A and B are shown apart, each in its own frame.
Chain A
Amino acid sequence: MGVVFEDDVSGAWNEMFSAPGQPRPIYERLLADLNAYQPQELRLRSEQLAHTFIDRGVTFAHSGEERPFPLDLVPRILGALEWDRLSRGIAQRVRALEAFLADIYGEGRIFDEGLMPRRVVTSSPHFNRAAFGITPPNGVRITVAGIDLIRDEHGNFCVLEDNVRIPSGVSYVIENRRAMTQAFSALFSDHRVHPVDSYPSRLFAALLAAAPAKAQDPVIVVLSPGVFNAAYFEHVLLARMMGVELVEGRDLVCRSNHVYMRTTNGERAVHVIYRRVDDDWIDPLQFRPDTVIGVAGLVNAARAGNVVISNGIGNGVADDKLVYTFVPEFIRFYLGEKPLLDNIETHRLEDDEARAEVLGHLERYVVKPVDGSGGKGIVIGPQATKTELKALAKEVASAPRNFIAQRPVALSTHPTFVDESIVPRHIDLRPFAVNNGEEVWVLPGGLTRVALGAGELIVNSSRGGGSKDTWVLNDESIPFRGAVPPASARSRRYSGPPRQNDEYIFEQGEQ
């Protein structure tokens, strides 16, 4: 008997067990494999994982310190069927959000049809008038999307939020898998897990497809704010794996609406910028004038069609949590389809009736700022103090547009290795989708984030969260891998001069 799994008590959906001691079929194999390890052995492997991350500099910057993003060694498993449904739902959502962005930065049909008040969009903090008139050559504004999902108490996946500005975290998916295959190679020979390393080439192909038509041999770059950015490691990894330059604002210059990078051999034209710099900071002529990490003139160059900024300017309006409440309607309106993934039940607080209900029972709701990310500003009613709720009520009453209220959902739990025992911890899932203009491809799995504190519901890395390798199992039978080549086909190798007999030399010398 190896590891002991602590039973779940919280009433949340347990990903691994359907009842105490009853593993779900998809986890049976993994459980048997893990049970073969002694807790001590798991701790050693866990330390080894952390060590390789520090050596390789797989870290995120938090409060000026480089920290590794803790990788939990119990992987999360998603079955082929379930994944198929999820990935179709994600792709559908991305297509709908694309249509929405094209519409609001274009003719505005959705307002004319009365499905959504224009004011919802124009009052969003991330709605950018600068985005009008920038037409992406292949229609893609969302090259990369990160759609955050959670599983509720009944086992249903729901969308928590959409991230179509600069979603980050995909580098951990790639690095986690690399580390796990090294530390636990035996687990992988027992499971057929979808690989994740094709992401960079998918992204590269999508960026290439997004290039201006007139660019003969498009030059793609990754634009990073620089080494002090929390996600710098990811920018490096993507640039390296795509084989493109990683640039900072000071490497680029705009002239006559063309963008160039400064090289040792003069200036070289740039056609597609996969930017990891927020709208606010990207162009001092359009947005914050005090930025030094952006490039002056970039937005005009994009408007002139000489460069493509990816993800698009002004996408943030689709991440707005009030806009989120309309996404199921977008799917019906723009695509004529039935939504495959549900939203969490959400109240729009500008609605008088809803606001009265929520303000009357704040302790029953989770209240979120509409433009927050990284768990910032979220108040979980059932866990908040009276003073916190009072302050919140005042804020909501004075600016209802800035908040939404949701039913508190107990995020599903997953067995997680903490202090030599395996205990249930809350998790979520961020799958990554890449849109090349013809199809939306979803990276199998995605980033499972885990809140490492007992009962903690916020999983973000900035709040001490960790992550799990996320496996999507493949149903197909294992293909024939080919036999060992016959001895005659193996190449011969030469060695150095034949060794002399040491004993013989010794005897000769001593006589």
Chain B
Amino acid sequence: MSERGMLSRLAESLFWIGRYIERADDTARIVDSYVHRMVEDPFNDESATCRSLFAILGIEVESERLRTSETLQTIAYDIENPNSIAGALNGAFENARRSRDYISSEMWVALNTTRNELPKREKRARDLGPSTYLTYVRERTSLLAGLTDATLSHDDGWRFLVLGRNLERIDMTARLLRGRVVSEDNAPDWMAFLRASGAMEAFMRNTREINDANGVAAFLMLDRLFPRSVLYSLNLADECLVEIQPISQRISSGDVARQALARARGTLEFIDPRQLIDQLPELLEMLEATCFRITDAVTDRYFRHEEAVVWHMEEGL
């Protein structure tokens, strides 16, 4: 960390820009894999598939019978919902607005034009199907990720952004896999998941056994070189935290965020990959909890700002 630190409010905004852009990207990927399944598989139960999609994205639904169109409305287009694609992009935009003096102009313009363009893309998607929308979102999020890395100084602000991006990625990969665990029948198959994670080609280059569920799970969880694997993201997140707060004392000062990260890394590093599939449910639960704990710890430590103070006139004088 630079001695001077950076504005807490700014750090928080950057952290959330990282999270929201990643969330939009990952949600688009997951929705894509589900949409394919609904379109391609004539025997699938539309309502149950939609329900499983809602479940893995952590969105509550009330209605009994779910249709693809309303599911897309909530998960893709609903700008009020911070877990939807449009909502996540809007969240990134709102945070960018607050940190507009810090992020590069190119990032700002890219986010601003995306936000202006999105309603038009949504309209078109209603006629032509969601994939045009999903492709557009993935292109824009890739552009934003590229601009983040190429046009910002790699200082603490950038580190908070990358930390947010990786925490979100861990969380989303865990959710993706959980879809397979909790609702096996209505979730897309493993290959579709690989495709959704953009991991299909990287996976195929590494193995011949494409139907090995354990192999796919291990790749998404434990691969050391694939940038969307959980272990890879955990390592990157830890690097960010170390650089933000280097260890200067001989005895650790008890960093709650790093402690949670280290525990998750330790568990994954030393697991027997052949047994992975059996332990998957507990591991995914642990990962989700880890993401929550780290976010809380980082918020407490770096973003804490007191509640706005309201002053009242004294009465009776």
Residues of A with Cβ closer than 8 Å to B? 54-57, 222, 226-227, 232, 235-236, 239-240, 245-248, 250-251, 253, 261-266, 268, 284-285, 289-292, 296
A264 touches B308 (CB 8 A): no
8 smallest beta-carbon distances between A and B, as pairs: A265-B5, A263-B5, A284-B311, A239-B101, A289-B311, A246-B101, A264-B302, A264-B5
Query: Closest CB-CB distance, B234 to chain A, in whole Å?
Result: 22
B interface bracket (residues with beta carbon within 8 Å of A):
35 or more
- Please indicate the chain B residues that have their CB under 8 angstroms from the CB of A247 in the complex: 7
Query: Closest CB-CB distance, A511 to chain B, in whole Å?
Result: 32
For the complex, is B309 an interface residue (Cβ under 8 Å from A)?
A: yes
Known pairs A235-B101, A253-B306. 16 more at Cβ < 8 A?
Answer: A55-B113, A222-B101, A227-B98, A240-B100, A240-B101, A248-B9, A250-B9, A251-B8, A263-B5, A263-B8, A264-B5, A264-B7, A265-B3, A268-B4, A290-B311, A290-B312
For the complex, is B253 an interface residue (Cβ under 8 Å from A)?
A: no
Known: A251-B9, A290-B310. A263 touches B305 (CB 8 A): no
Known: A55-B113, A57-B112, A264-B11. A250 touches B5 (CB 8 A): no
For the complex, is B317 an interface residue (Cβ under 8 Å from A)?
A: no
- Please indicate the chain A residues that have their CB under 8 angstroms from the CB of B5 in the complex: 263-266, 268
Nearest B residue to A284, CB-CB: B311
Which residue from A55, A236, A253 sits with its C-beta under 8 Å from B116? A55
A-B contact pairs, 25 of them (CB 8 A): A54-B116, A55-B109, A55-B113, A55-B116, A56-B109, A56-B112, A57-B100, A57-B109, A232-B97, A239-B101, A245-B101, A250-B305, A250-B306, A251-B7, A251-B305, A262-B305, A263-B7, A263-B8, A264-B1, A264-B6, A264-B7, A284-B311, A289-B313, A290-B311, A292-B310
Nearest B residue to A267, CB-CB: B5
- Please indicate the chain A residues that have their CB under 8 angstroms from the CB of B97 in the complex: 227, 232
Write the B93-120 contact mask toward A (1 if CB under 8 angstroms, else 0).
0100110110001001100110010000
- Please indicate the chain A residues that have their CB under 8 angstroms from the CB of B101 in the complex: 222, 235-236, 239-240, 245-246
What is the CA–CA distance of A290 and B311 in the complex, to the nearest angstrom? 6
For the complex, is B152 an interface residue (Cβ under 8 Å from A)?
A: no
What is the CA–CA distance of A290 and B100 in the complex, to the nearest angstrom? 27
B4 touches A285 (CB 8 A): no
Nearest A residue to B94, CB-CB: A227
For the complex, is B156 an interface residue (Cβ under 8 Å from A)?
A: yes
Write the B237-248 contact mask toward A (1 if CB under 8 angstroms, else 0).
000000010000
- Please indicate the chain A residues that have their CB under 8 angstroms from the CB of B306 in the complex: 250, 253
What is the CA–CA distance of A54 and B117 in the complex, to the nearest angstrom? 11
Known: A56-B109, A57-B108, A240-B101. A245 touches B7 (CB 8 A): yes
Which residue from B113, B302, B309 sits with its C-beta under 8 Å from A292? B309
Which residue from B7, B105, B308 sits with its C-beta under 8 Å from A56? B105
What is the CA–CA distance of A246 and B7 in the complex, to the nearest angstrom? 9
What is the CA–CA distance of A250 and B13 in the complex, to the nearest angstrom? 14
Which residue from A56, A222, A250, A264 sits with its C-beta under 8 Å from B244? A264
Query: Closest CB-CB distance, B311 to chain A, in whole Å?
Result: 4
Nearest B residue to A268, CB-CB: B4
What is the CA–CA distance of A240 and B311 in the complex, to the nearest angstrom? 32
Contacting A at CB under 8 A, from B277-317, are 302-303, 305-306, 308-313
- Please indicate the chain B residues that have their CB under 8 angstroms from the CB of A57 in the complex: 100, 108-109, 112
Query: Closest CB-CB distance, B138 to chain A, in whole Å?
Result: 21
